[in-house]
Structure 1
């Protein structure tokens, strides 16, 4: 870890990056206090990884409707037709189909900070 070795810091279990409008008032190896960074009522953006659900079909992944269950139907949970007629002769890019669901990075913007608990080092957001 080159940047930690340069600053003389022992590598820890977690290394977190915070984007700030400016770096004025911060020094290398400075211990950060939650109350200095955030205040109750501030709006923050939270990013994280969604829960991975593996390979899922169209019904679960995209809320497609199922096919008829009676009258000789064999395609109950199948996708159905996936393309237009002969003219395009292909499947359009971005077509909603079965595949990997979850396990992607997502961001929720403008969450309001309700309370800051310095004992547990926790920020409670709404």
Structure 2
């Protein structure tokens, strides 16, 4: 069975790019969320194998969502996505339990490598 992934990004275009990369590589999309609160709610409902989580989002940012999801499920596999220049936030995310991070704009091979590593 294909691994199920929840894609979280406030930009629909970015979600579409990630979804395209994942579906072409045999992953199933568990759902899409556009802010941190939706991410936490959908994680509870869907129980995906992995979450790609944008750092900068409205309502609740990726770091807050990461901490909340990890608080409810310490085993959660989460990969942070960030634009260049967000290194300090990336360090926070890794310390809070993120498995890896991918820098935008996304490169398909880097996305797949990060996901395979996080799920292994």
Classify the TM-score, shorter chain. Answer: under 0.3
Q: Which has the higher contact order (CA 8 A, sep 6+)?
A: 1
Q: Normalized against structure 2, the TM-score is what?
A: 0.19
The TM-score, its normalising length taken from structure 1, stands at 0.19
